[in-house]
Structure 1
């Protein structure tokens, strides 16, 4: 994962939910715990890719009052910062993992064998996450209403959102299905994991279209 990335906020942010399980009280959010503490994965993005894509690591400012006031997208940006889509568009284009909304399994496998070289369990889980999420992102994008996206603020690049949606979905999937071989089963992590697994967002789908 990117160090100090808004992705950590994204992963935890979607844990504000309504009850869907009799065993978990989804109205009571558990104490915050850093996702990397509960699933201590190696960095997903290499130093080389961070340098190549550094110009795109720009977080969009929160919307002005009234901007996208009635949309789930606007409210999600306001309450739950997420990684800039251009950053992961750059990362995926550089690696060839996900280009033109198409997942390249061979390049994904090769890349995971490098960044997760010490854990075949994590490689397998990540492969499954990418495969599942790529399908869900495609379905979500296909069902979006036919309307133009708002222009980005001055100085912000224009990029498709599917790469950011895919990466958010993948990391939430990894946190939920963290392999037992690396998973931290402390009480605080188990509470957070149960809440995260059994509770859904209060309104609308997450950006990936993944139902949690």
Structure 2
């Protein structure tokens, strides 16, 4: 049985450990690290699919008005370009993975066995991410205010945003729940994971096609 002094040290140690683990300043984002450095995984989109959907892989031009062009969001998009919604719509339509806001589990698992063929752990994590995020996208879009969809920039096609929302959610989920068998546990990666696990993730478009 532990003595009173041993018990006191145990309680103090536990409290200090809890304080350290909770000590994350969410106002200070850690230095940028390429997510695929921390969770090295093969590209989700195959070269064949990129070729089939190449006409949709066109980045929208940045806003031209003074207020928008000087905003944080516009600067973020400028430095970290994101694909248009039509790109992932095309990817999912070609594979049959996600259509009309419905996830086809069989086609998803078949596709993951091809692109993540060297890691069953990654296949499992990606399956869970898609399942979770498909539900979140439905809930997210159900809570959006009823208003007309914004028009796309001139020369850009119009596509629903659910495919982009889904892929962005899946990517973030995989970064946070990267399998131990492939995860990079360097200090910079640990800091980034801790930040995104304990702090509310920023809202924004899905990751660049170079990241998937």
Q: TM range, normalised to the smaller chain?
A: 0.7 to 0.9
TM-score by length of 2: 0.79
Give the Cα–Cα distance (whole angstroms) in 2 for the partners of residues 22 and 126 of structure 1: 28
Give the Cα–Cα distance (whole angstroms) in 2 for the partners of residues 140 and 95 of structure 1: 24
Give the Cα–Cα distance (whole angstroms) in 1 for the partners of residues 106 and 49 of structure 2: 19
Structure 1: stretches of 5+ with no match in the other structure: 1-20
SS at match of 1:92: helix
Does structure 1 conserve the Cα–Cα contact (< 8 Å) formed by 2:37 and 2:184? yes
Give the Cα–Cα distance (whole angstroms) in 2 for the partners of residues 75 and 190 of structure 1: 26
Q: Note closer, same or farther for the CA distance 1:76–1:163 as it changes in structure 2 (3 Å cut).
A: farther
TM-score by length of 1: 0.79
The alignment's C-alpha RMSD in Å is 2.2
Give the Cα–Cα distance (whole angstroms) in 2 for the partners of residues 187 and 152 of structure 1: 41
Structure 2: stretches of 5+ with no match in the other structure: 1-20, 207-212
Establish whether residue 79 from structure 1 lines up as the match of residue 62 from structure 2: no
Pairwise mapping of residues 54-203 of structure 1 onto structure 2 (< 5 A)? Answer: 54-65=54-65, 76=73, 79-80=76-77, 81-201=81-201
Give the Cα–Cα distance (whole angstroms) in 2 for the partners of residues 44 and 136 of structure 1: 20
> Mean alpha-carbon deviation: is it higher for 147-156 or for 103-112?
147-156
Q: How far does the alpha carbon of each residue in 1:156-181 deviate from its partner, in whole angstroms, 9 at most, with x for none? A: 01100000000000000000100000
Q: Displacement, 1:83?
A: 2.3
Count of matched residue pairs: 182
Give the Cα–Cα distance (whole angstroms) in 2 for the partners of residues 77 and 85 of structure 1: 17
Does structure 2 conserve the Cα–Cα contact (< 8 Å) formed by 1:63 and 1:78? no
Q: Note closer, same or farther for the CA distance 1:149–1:66 as it changes in structure 2 (3 Å cut).
A: farther
Q: How far does the alpha carbon of each residue in 1:129-173 deviate from its partner, in whole angstroms, 9 at most, with x for none? A: 000000000111111111111211111011000000000000000
Larger helix fraction of residues:
2
